[in-house]
Chain A
Amino acid sequence: MSWLNSLVAGIRSLFSRHRIERELDEELDLFQEQAAEHHERTGMTPEEARRAARVAVGSRNSVKQKVWASRWESVVDNLCKDARLGSRSLLRTPGFTAIAVMSLALGIGANTAIFTLLNAVMLRPLPVEEPRQLVLFGDGSWVGSMDGMPNRNWRLFSYPFYRAFSAQTHAFSGVTAVSSIQMGGHLAASGGAPEQVHIDVVSGSYFSVLGVPPALGRTIDEADDRTAGAGAVAVASYAWFERHFGGNPAALGATIHVQGHNYTIVGVAEPGFAGLDPSSPADMWIPLSMEKEISPGWNGLEDKDFQSLYLVGRLKPGVTTALATTSTNLLFRQIIRGEYLGDHPSEHDLAQLEKANIELTSAAGGLPGLRLKLSTPIFVLMGIVVLVLLIACVNIANMLLARGVARSREIAVRQALGATRARIMAQLLTESTLLALGGAAFGVLVAWGSGRLLAAYLSHGVNEQIPEYLAPDVRVLVFTVAVTGFTALLFGMLPAVRAARLELTPVLKEGRGGSQANARGAVSRGLIVGQIAISILLLVAAGIFLRSLVNLNRVNLGFEPKHAMVFGLDEQGANLPVDSRLTQLHQEIERSVQALPGVEAASFSMFTFNEGEWSDSVMMEGVPRTPQNDSDVHYNVVGSQYLKTFGIPLVSGRNFSDQDTANSPHVALVNETMARTFFPNGSPIGHHFCLCDGSAAHSQTGPFDIEIVGVVRDAHYEGVGEHQHMAAYFPYAQHAQYFYNFVVRSNVSPAALLPAVRRVFAQANPQVLVSTVVPLTEMVDDSIQTQRLIGLLSAFFAALAVFLVAIGVYGLISYSVARRTSEMGIRVALGAPARALVWLVVRESLVLLAAGLAVGLPVALLTAQSLSQFLKAILFEVTAMDPMAFALAVAVACVMTLCAAFLPARRAASVNPVDALRCE
């Protein structure tokens, strides 16, 4: 308890410093008086007695100081004094302070912003019970549905497998399944306007396994997930509940209408929980028993071959991931052998199963979707901003060193007056901390502003919604505070140590600190060389990312995105049977839109660009299977105007026509790559193929029912950077289906066209909704958003680094020119031409540059080499070792150094010998 008393007493005395001072004075007065009286009594003269008493008391100030220093609050007091002193001295040099605070703000702000992203994407655990116990089956890198048995890691699972597995497992206390595709539907609630919702379709065990309690009502349970089609209930996320119902509990029991079916809201999940994927927050959960109703006609509840689910298990306490992996794979094989392969499995299937397995990955942070996509870019950006902060620190350290030289007299005087080295270092470090704190304060503002921007940029194409998840948390706060403290030490330590190690006498005598200045020169030079080296690293990084971006922009997509726009549809409400009636509706709409003024062509399309893929291998009649033609063909189902709408030229054969109907022979267009792969020496037109599995298990004589009627130019499909795939296009007249995309080529602006297109749809069928319109160019741009962001940010930070280093070089060179003014004067007096003086200065900067390159280039080469594998994922047609990027970096560094040396060199050249010599 005594420390508590001491704390209270200390705080009290901090606030009553004056009273304490007064009391001490009084006590000292009395001490001295009584000492004098005592001495007088022992026979001294009054004069002698007073003198002796003064001796016994000693220096009053020193006594007071000692009393004060004997208490802990003196440390706080000193700190406050140092802070006051420091801020005063910083305010005396506003230019320096502004530059330092600004560069720190950019450095700390950039670090905080990127760390916020890193934290949100990679570190933050899900807001569920014991997130560390959760594991995902597979790595979550596949989305969609697949059939057949992969002979590698399994990532998607069927509903029957989920049922069998969760009934038999011993390693998990519970397993839950969630559809790998988030359903995005339009929902109408109690007569309101339709709005877009994101729905996760989940197993009955979902909420109990995750340990997410309801905030209102109940969550989905096993009973909801027991019978197909019987679980028409929905649980809303708290955020959506607030948004949509304003937090009114009357929401419970409300009926909502999604994709032509009604669901009753039975509960609201705990606040903060938005599903397993932080990057695609769910508004609503619906049980898997409703899969057929909520999805585009999927029916996987009984189908062992329809694999579209992620499985997430909760490890039993004490079960390690390794143990669970063994147990999971045993059970996996057992289930597949027992229930999938039948009584007499073929050799082929057994061999496939031998290679298959399940890898468990931690799901503590949720599904790794965003992590897989963004971890490399985020690590790259983190590395870049750390280097920028380092450069900023070195710059400030250098400026502080220069300041230290200028202040050496002040410091010498303070030492002479009795300040200890520790006190002086403490004072200088306090000053650095003040700078860092100022930088951090502005930095947090920078981070706040840029973080949202970054998030919007990076998560574009993943989901239009910025995850609420990105709000900074304790971890971000700790990071920022740590970075601030670390920076203050980093740039403040060296100058403080040097200042405190001052040799007193020469400084006081000399007044200009010659020896110090020389020493400062060596250290400063070292720092500048380091800065140049780091800037090389940043310049090389910027170089390769920009080159990659340029390459991406140069890619020939094979189609013409300009003047094409994609309308997003929700046709489920139309409630038409999927047959010729739907086809007629589509043809009618296409015709009406094409008749609109300014419209060149219009077509429905299953996929447009960067929307995923539907692919499988095909069998061509009369062509033996080879490793080349065994690879996947990308399919698309389109209207007859698709080629015109997308601007893809027909190379040979014919386009789809009105004669291609559901009852006529099936036809397809193939791209050049597919034509070349199957028919290297001839035309594919007139040949037949089938969408049948070509594996050994199946016969080679399938019904080759699709005729190739035309060949079209290769066009990209999945993304800008994809390798060219084989592709086949089918007419929707022969493949009736609901569409999500409607593409129009027109010179009218999308916004102006939207009402007209909406009218056409409404006239054709009022239940078909046109929700969005996006220019195709924007979709192409979005698909390389991440690469663009890295390219632009790395270029921005490299430019910032170059600027900071240029300031550093300029400062050092001008300082050295100023110190050598008299030498220059003598040289001029002896007849040296201006050229020689300029060379003198430029040579100094070139030495720095050479040293910087000598350090920076090998470091950059080694870094690029060791990271090349890692960077491959985000580089396009350029390697990390790109010679062009290195050459550019060196060139920029040279220009930067020479520019920085230019002004001081000119000053040197114009030295007037008389002035220069007189000032000595």
Chain B
Amino acid sequence: MAAQPNPDNPAGSSDLVQGTLEMLILKTLALEAMHGYGVALRIEQISKGVFRVNAGSLLPALSRMERAGHVKTEWRATESNRRAKYYQLTAKGRRALAFETEQWQRQIAAIARILEA
């Protein structure tokens, strides 16, 4: 599921490559457990605003991943002392991240070779 381009910043943002959103979320959560907006913000910041993920794509993706057992959830307080649902990577999620990263790099390398040929 691709993220929608941000209408406020049409030049700076870009569509996510099909099927990569879950990999990016896994990567983001690999460092620490986060709540929904935290994930969205981190993806936006690290991609320097190229990818913006809105709630309509993020939450269904997280729901799917929870069902697949890649993340588990927990309600706890934020820094500002709000109750929030935190998503945390499971062992299975880590294996999925490793697998997807490897797949992705193989594909990128292959695409690069084709483009350079």
- Please give the residue numbers on chain A whose beta carbons come within 8 Å of chain B beta carbons, in ascending order: 2, 5-6, 9-10, 23-24, 26-28, 30-35, 38, 52, 55-59, 62-63, 66-67, 69-71
Contacts and interface: CB of A to CB of B under 8 A. Distances in A.
A2 B64 contact: no
Nearest to A48: B8
Among B40, B67, B69, find the residue whose CB has the most chain A CB atoms closer than 10 A: B67
Contacts of B55: 28, 31-32, 56-58, 63
B67 A31 contact: no
A31 B8 contact: no
A30 B35 contact: yes
B8 A70 contact: no
A70 B63 contact: yes
A59 B4 CA distance: 13
Interface stretch (B25-33, B78-86, B99-107, B108-116): B78-86
Interface in B31-64: 35-38, 40-41, 52, 54-56, 59-61, 63-64
A297 to B, nearest CB: 81
B52 to A, nearest CB: 8
Contact of A55 (B8, B40, B61, B63): B8
Among A10, A52, A66, find the residue whose CB has the most chain B CB atoms closer than 10 A: A66
Given A27-B36, A57-B54, A70-B63, 7 more contacts: A26-B83, A27-B84, A28-B59, A55-B54, A58-B55, A63-B60, A66-B60
A58 B59 contact: no
A7 to B, nearest CB: 10
A55 B68 contact: no
10 contacts: A6-B68, A31-B37, A31-B59, A56-B40, A56-B52, A56-B55, A57-B56, A58-B56, A63-B55, A70-B67
Nearest to A58: B56
Contacts of B56: 57-59, 62-63, 66
A38 B60 contact: no
B31 to A, nearest CB: 18
B54 A56 contact: yes
A67 B35 contact: no
Contacts of B63: 67, 70-71
A2 B85 contact: no
A69 B85 contact: no
B41 A58 contact: no
Nearest to A9: B67
B65 to A, nearest CB: 9
Contact of B82 (A30, A35, A71): A30
A25 B18 CA distance: 28
B82 A38 contact: no
B47 to A, nearest CB: 15
Contacts of B10: none
A57 to B, nearest CB: 4
Given A2-B69, A6-B67, A63 B37 contact: no
Contacts of A31: 36-37, 40, 55, 59
A868 to B, nearest CB: 63
Nearest to B41: A38
Contacts of A70: 60-61, 63-64, 67
A2 B68 contact: yes
B7 interface: yes
Contacts of A23: 85
A409 B74 CA distance: 46
Contacts of A32: 55
A558 B68 CA distance: 84
B37 A58 contact: no
A63 B63 CA distance: 11
A30 B60 contact: no
Contact of B59 (A9, A10, A38, A67): A67
A129 B37 CA distance: 68
| Shortest beta-carbon contacts, A-B, top 8 | A34-B37, A66-B60, A70-B60, A58-B56, A57-B55, A31-B37, A67-B63, A70-B64
Contacts of A30: 35-37, 78, 82, 84
Contacts of A35: 37, 40
Nearest to A37: B80
B63 to A, nearest CB: 5
Contacts of A62: 56
Nearest to A23: B85
A637 B92 CA distance: 92
Nearest to A57: B55
Contacts of B61: 70
A8 to B, nearest CB: 11
Nearest to A72: B67
Nearest to B54: A56
Nearest to B92: A2
Contacts of B35: 27, 30
Contact of A27 (B52, B59, B78, B92): B59
A9 B68 CA distance: 11
Contacts of A55: 7-8, 54
Among A2, A5, A9, A67, find the residue whose CB has the most chain B CB atoms closer than 10 A: A67
A9 B56 CA distance: 22
B67 A71 contact: yes
Contacts of A71: 63-64, 67
A54 B84 CA distance: 19
A458 B49 CA distance: 82
Contacts of A56: 40, 52, 54-55
A881 B68 CA distance: 66
Nearest to B52: A56
Contacts of A9: 67
Contacts of B69: 2, 5-6
A749 to B, nearest CB: 78
A59 B68 CA distance: 26
